[in-house]
């Protein structure tokens, strides 16, 4: 049992290191190409923090463990809302922007509902995957347009979130970082999936549960770290945008790209429990955020309690 656990931990380390290298290199290349910092933050950085989920889901789907792929995506969305926002709200009260309520949350909720509805036939097929990817491209184009037409404070905030060496790294070094980061991500994904399959066999649990727990939590580490650091820096409101952006990338980009390459089956238990929990948590964000335009310590504890109940159901319910 020790070897599979070590493989999962080693894979997680490679994913975190590879994601960091990839984001640093991509930011440098984009900024040297004179791309606006706000655009870099909304595209390169947001996509970079979701790369672990992408490579793990791709590896799982192509490696004949599709339940892990779907579990990783749905589980990451659940952890992002319940764990990341929950912990961050406990550390620092989250201030909610009006645009989050009026624009970003409705899109997130629509995507969560679409994922569930399109999966009711038991599979996310290639056409549906392409539809999701097209939706992500549209969302990115829209956010970039908003960022470029309302640049007042956006650039300053995004600069704070970009790697500090973006202007100091040479083009050759940045290219190497991108290549090395991609290689580490690939190796990390393979190690995590292989270790996860072994653990599922040894513990007698399904690949779905491994994907929903170990893989989902592991690949959500970049978002968790980013949100907690932002909270300690007094910029906890960034956590809300981080979670919404990550969940959108997970659903539209990661599931979409994976399904566009190979159809992703949807487990019956995923339809009856996991997807409804994801949709329910997404919906619950609205009254929690709208009530006081803040997420406080009580809200954070409530979200963590819901996560604990869901985690217990995973292991006590069959499947």
Where in the chain are the domains?
Answer: 2-316
Q: Is the pLDDT of residue 293 over 90?
A: no
Which tens digits make up the pLDDT trace of 189-234?
Answer: 778 878 877 887 787 788 888 888 888 887 777 777 767 766 776 6
Assess contact for 316 and 102: CB atoms under 8 A.
Answer: no
Nearest to 65 by CA among 190, 251, 219: 190
206: helix, coil or strand? coil
311, pLDDT greater than 70: yes
Task: Give residue 154's pLDDT.
Answer: 45
Helix spans in 33-125 (H):
37-40, 46-49, 51-62, 66-79, 86-91, 98-99, 105-118
Task: Say which residue, 83 or 66, is predicted with more confidence.
Answer: 83
| The pLDDT value given to residue 266 | 93
Cα atoms in the 13 Å half-sphere on the side-chain side of 58: 17
Task: Kindly give the pairing relationship between strand 94-95 and strand 294-295.
Answer: antiparallel
Residue 152, pLDDT > 70, answer no
| pLDDT at 158 > cutoff 80 | no
Q: How confident is the model at residue 273 (pLDDT cuts 50, 70, 90)?
A: very high
Residue 163: name the closest of 24, 17, 25, 40 by CA. Answer: 24
Cα–Cα distance between 234 and 239 in angstroms, integer? 11
310 pLDDT above the threshold of 50: yes
Q: Dihedral, CA atoms, 236, 226, 40, 48, nearest 10 degrees? A: -150
Percent of the chain with pLDDT over 90: 30
Q: Is the pLDDT of residue 93 over 90?
A: no
Q: Is the pLDDT of residue 151 over 80?
A: no
* pLDDT for residue 41: 54
Return the axis-axis angle of helices 171-203 and 51-62, rounded to nearest 10°.
50
State the CATH architecture for 2-316: Up-down Bundle (1.20)
Q: Kindly state the helix (H) or strand (E) to which residue 116 belongs, with its residue range.
A: helix 105-118
User: How far apart, in whole angstroms, are the C-alpha atoms of residue 169 and residue 192?
Assistant: 31
Give the tokens for residue 307. 């996560």
Phi/psi at 152 (nearest 5 deg)? -50, -65
């Amino acid at each position: 049992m020790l070897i599979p656990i070590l493989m999962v931990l080693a894979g997680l380390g490679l994913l975190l290191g590879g994601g960091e290298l990839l984001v640093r290199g991509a930011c440098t290349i984009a900024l040297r190409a004179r791309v606006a910092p706000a655009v870099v933050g909304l595209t390169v950085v947001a996509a970079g923090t979701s790369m672990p989920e992408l490579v793990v889901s791709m590896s799982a789907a192509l490696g004949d463990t599709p339940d892990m792929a779907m579990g990783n995506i749905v589980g990451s969305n659940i952890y992002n809302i319940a764990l990341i926002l929950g912990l961050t709200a406990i550390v620092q009260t989250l201030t909610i922007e009006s645009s989050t309520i009026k624009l970003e949350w409705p899109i997130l909720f629509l995507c969560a509902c679409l994922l569930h509805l399109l999966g009711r036939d038991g599979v996310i097929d290639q056409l549906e995957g392409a539809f999701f990817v097209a939706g992500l491209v549209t969302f990115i184009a829209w956010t970039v347009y908003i960022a470029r037409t309302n640049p007042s404070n956006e650039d300053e905030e995004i600069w704070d979130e970009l790697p500090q060496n973006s202007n100091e790294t040479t083009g050759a070094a940045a290219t190497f970082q991108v290549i090395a980061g991609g290689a580490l991500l690939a190796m990390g994904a393979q190690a995590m999936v292989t270790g996860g399959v072994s653990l599922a066999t040894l513990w007698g649990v399904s690949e779905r549960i491994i994907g929903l727990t170990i893989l989902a939590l592991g690949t959500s580490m970049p978002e968790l770290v980013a949100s907690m650091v932002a909270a300690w820096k007094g910029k906890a409101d960034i956590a809300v945008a981080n979670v919404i952006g990550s969940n959108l990338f997970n659903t539209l980009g990661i599931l979409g790209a994976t399904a566009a390459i190979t159809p992703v089956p949807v487990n019956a238990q995923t339809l009856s429990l996991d997807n409804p929990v994801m949709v329910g948590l997404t919906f619950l964000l609205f009254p929690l955020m709208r009530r006081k335009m803040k997420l406080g310590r009580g809200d954070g504890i409530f979200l963590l309690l819901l996560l604990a109940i869901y985690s217990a159901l995973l292991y006590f319910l069959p499947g």
